[in-house]
Structure 1
């Protein structure tokens, strides 16, 4: 998530919006109420859709309030990567403001931010998968667990306690951010 949030007031004219987007290298800005809560988002597409007709007055009359997509689709603080990805996918969004409990922006998550998780090393992923399995599913000492990761694909092996199914172990492994897929090679 990018923590610096470039935002706009509801009454900000279109030229101010475009200047802010260009200056800060962003393709959209959240629009905030007087109380600092997100009420909408103005994207480049929103601005381009409202270009004044030739011979018009330059569009200074167009404000963030008239351009914004509302209500603002946001992610709550603490949302997981899969939750944010689902929100963005459902809304076909390129970016998503992250807000606190009062609806005030804390940052912005972009598609690129979500993809960074796939750059984690295989060693990091193996360590996280092992930790998740041993913390949430398998009591220490009750399994001879092996975790191998190759290009983000996890292979679980060894022995599981009788109370733990291979399907459940695989399901938990797939929840680790950056894991592409998981397979099992458990011995009975």
Structure 2
């Protein structure tokens, strides 16, 4: 029933510059400046990703340039101190590189980034060869979808499936990514399901409801699709979790 989800290859940057293990510190900085990037995949052989070197990996050299760290700092930041003395990519990179695949969903890539607290992921094929890079900003591109495009998908994938005519009459409006479903439905128990499915549409920011029982019975209010909010009368106007 669902539309095909966007995948990493839909939003990733395909043209990526990279460095090799033997590239020097100064060369890495120069490439970052020339390409206006903050991280570079490190490759070996015919393009297999073995690490990632970022601005964060380079900064310890400046941070510890004129200081003599105490024992506590030495123990707590062994990795940074090692990188402060690094002169080649293989000394500076974070390895092994955390990567994703072109066919991974945007949600999967987002979870990987969030759990590892990283800003980007090299995209590799099944052999570990570099195919692109995906960043946090790339994953947010789905929220640029046109409101009418979102409305059409919600009508097609949610409303027509759960609330078909003539038993129900549901209007779909979208403004700045927020979906509003309003009208009369035959089975109000499906409202929480509609909430979940509508929020799952990529690019949807939130979902609001003004749905009521088709018979208009005050004894059959639409169930609250968002626990923790208040439903009054037969109208339900509940905003989704943010």
TM-score (norm 1): 0.82
Matched, 1:41 2:52: yes
Matched, 1:64 2:82: no
Q: 1:27: Cα distance to partner?
A: 0.6
The within-5 A match list for 1:8-157 is 8-51=19-62, 53=65, 62-133=87-158, 137-138=161-162, 144-157=169-182
Structure 2 contact 172–179 (Cα < 8 Å) conserved: yes
Which residue is 2:209 aligned to?
A: 184
Q: How has the CA–CA distance of structure 1 residues 156 and 103 changed in structure 2, closer, same or farther, with 3 Å as cutoff?
A: farther
Name the structure where strand makes up a greater proportion of residues: 1
Q: How has the CA–CA distance of structure 1 residues 126 and 5 changed in structure 2, closer, same or farther, with 3 Å as cutoff?
A: same
Give 1 or 2 for the bigger CA radius of gyration.
Answer: 2
TM-score (norm 2): 0.66
Q: How has the CA–CA distance of structure 1 residues 139 and 119 changed in structure 2, closer, same or farther, with 3 Å as cutoff?
A: same
Q: How has the CA–CA distance of structure 1 residues 133 and 102 changed in structure 2, closer, same or farther, with 3 Å as cutoff?
A: farther
Gaps of 5+ in 1: none
Structure 1 contact 38–104 (Cα < 8 Å) conserved: yes
Deviations 1:75-118 (A, max 9, x none): 21122222222222222212222222222222112222223322
Paired with 2:168 and 2:48, the residues of 1 have a C-alpha distance of: 49
Q: CA RMSD, aligned part only?
A: 2.7
Paired with 2:210 and 2:194, the residues of 1 have a C-alpha distance of: 11
Paired with 1:79 and 1:145, the residues of 2 have a C-alpha distance of: 33
